[in-house]
């Protein structure tokens, strides 16, 4: 079975070819244009998808060493995401499926961030059911109870900013370029995580809140700058380490609570922020401290990519779960 996966929910145009659950190619065109604006500009994202989609799909097919006539089915991201971006991938997937007369499969982007763990990769184990998934990305922060591939329940989520936003907005306060998450991570590794104690928000149950933390960091930095205009340059590593330490503590606290409440000790992470070195380390420590079994995906399957769309396509293909031409993109969808 050859599946073409197409991802266009935000600012990355991506296409992948899977042969069953193995990835033959995974091409990602990241849009650089947004850097100068300090965030994703939806209108510009749609235009760039429009330009990228044909060459990206072409390249994925070539790299896989197949032709488009070999394709068994096409899977695409239906949502959630930016409407204008989703429309490009959705329309393209529909047209190509129609032209090739093969099945079309719609994929939920957040489910795909979780099911990326089911890609067959050497050195990476697939989690056994049930497990808890912590999806941490630019737009989401969720704790999901995964009972089966398509039986997922969100048991906790953010009530305001996503964790990726918390990283990016903190980075912006420090004058770092967008997206700042990876930079905060880089500098954090050189600093003292306990240098500056930031207050953790109090949120009931398994939900998260990050907007208060961002404001706390802003006020703290402004106050320090008044006393010392070089505060940021002189303390960049310690500030980044302290921010990262606080964010990771928030995430681990909720995971501990979720694990206790559900009795589930298998924990898988997904989404762009799972690239963070601090969260990876904290999860590993959880194996000793709390008896967890943890699963971290291969780096290229953490941020937005089409291989994760392809694996969901394959799993749905096995169930002959196809959609028809009346399908429309949706900016907001739950599971
Ligand atoms: P969503 O999946 O919710 O629609 P998205 O697709 O835009 O959002 P991803 O591509 O999954 O998000 O993740 C991007 C986010 O991950 C950005 O906020 C980025 O700063 C953050 N990020 C990436 N690498 C790291 C890192 N090493 N440390 C912290 N944050 C990181
Ligand atoms: Fe994503």
Predicted confidence (pLDDT) per residue in 92-107, tens digit = 999 999 999 999 999 9
Q: Decide the pairing of beta strands 12-19 and 104-108.
A: unpaired
Instruction: Identify the H or E element spanning 147.
Output: strand 141-148
Structure confidence at residue 91 (pLDDT):
98
Residue 232 has which token pair? 């940021």
Q: In what order do the strands lie in the sheet with 73-79?
A: 22-30, 12-19, 2-7, 73-79, 104-108
137 CB less than 6 Å from ligand 1? Answer: yes
The partner residues of 293 in beta bridges, in order of sequence, read 266
Q: What is the ipTM of this complex?
A: 0.97
Q: Check if 11 has its Cβ closer than 6 Å to any atom of ligand 1.
A: no
Per-residue pLDDT, 35: 82
Ligand 2 ion: nearby residues, β-carbon < 5 Å: 137, 304
Question: What does pTM read for this prediction?
Answer: 0.94
Task: Supply the pLDDT for residue 143.
Answer: 98
Atom of ligand 1 nearest to the CA of 278: 28
Find out whether the beta carbon of 167 lies less than 6 Å from any atom of ligand 1.
yes
How confident is the model over 154-167, as pLDDT tens digits? Answer: 999 999 999 999 99
Q: Is 121 in the pocket of ligand 1 (CB under 6 A)?
A: no
CB 106 within 8 A of CB 94: no
Q: Name the residue with the closest Cα to ligand 1, atom 16.
A: 272
Confirm or reject: Cβ of 115 under 6 Å from ligand 1. no
Mutation choice for ligand 1 from 81, 111, 158, 164, CB with most ligand atoms inside 8 A: 164
Sites in the chain below the pLDDT cut of 70? none
Is 113 one of the annotated binding-site residues? Answer: yes
Q: Which of 223, 210, 103 is nearest to 164 (CA)?
A: 210
Residue 39 annotated as part of some ligand binding site? no
- Looking at residue 185, its pLDDT comes to 98
pLDDT (0 to 100) of residue 39: 82
Which of 42, 115, 137, when mutated, tests ligand 1's pocket best, judged by the most ligand atoms within 8 Å of its CB? 137
Residues 6+ apart with CB under 8 A from 81: 8, 9, 10, 109, 139, 331
């Amino acid at each position: 079975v050859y599946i073409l996966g197409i991802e266009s929910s935000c600012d990355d145009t991506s296409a992948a070819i899977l042969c069953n659950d193995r990835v033959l190619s995974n091409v990602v065109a990241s849009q650089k244009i947004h850097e100068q604006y300090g965030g994703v500009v939806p209108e510009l994202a749609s235009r760039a998808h429009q330009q990228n989609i044909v060459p990206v799909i072409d390249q994925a097919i070539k790299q896989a060493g197949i032709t488009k006539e070999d394709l068994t089915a096409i899977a695409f991201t239906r949502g959630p995401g930016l409407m204008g971006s989703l429309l490009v991938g959705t329309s393209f997937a529909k047209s190509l499926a129609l032209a090739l007369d093969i099945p079309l499969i719609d994929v939920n982007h957040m489910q795909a961030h979780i099911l990326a763990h089911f890609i067959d990769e050497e050195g990476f184990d697939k989690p056994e059911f049930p497990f808890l998934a912590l999806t941490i990305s630019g737009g989401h922060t969720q704790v999901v109870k995964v009972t089966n591939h398509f039986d997922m329940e969100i048991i906790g989520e953010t009530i305001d900013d996503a964790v990726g936003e918390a990283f990016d907005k903190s980075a912006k306060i420090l004058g770092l370029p967008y997206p700042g998450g990876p930079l905060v991570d880089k500098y954090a590794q050189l600093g003292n995580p306990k240098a500056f104690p930031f207050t953790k928000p109090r949120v009931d149950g398994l939900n998260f809140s990050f907007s208060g933390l961002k404001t706390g960091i802003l006020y703290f930095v402004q106050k320090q700058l008044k006393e010392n205009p070089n505060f940021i340059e002189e303390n960049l590593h310690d500030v980044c380490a302290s921010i990262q330490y606080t964010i990771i503590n928030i995430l681990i606290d909720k995971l501990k609570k979720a694990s206790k409440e559900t009795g589930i000790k298998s924990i898988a992470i997904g989404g762009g922020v799972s690239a963070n070195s601090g969260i990876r380390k904290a999860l590993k420590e959880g194996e000793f401290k709390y008896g967890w079994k943890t699963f971290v995906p291969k780096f290229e399957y953490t941020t937005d990519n089409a291989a994760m769309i392809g694996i969901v396509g394959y799993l749905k293909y096995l169930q002959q779960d196809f959609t028809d031409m009346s399908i429309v993109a949706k900016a907001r969808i739950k599971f």
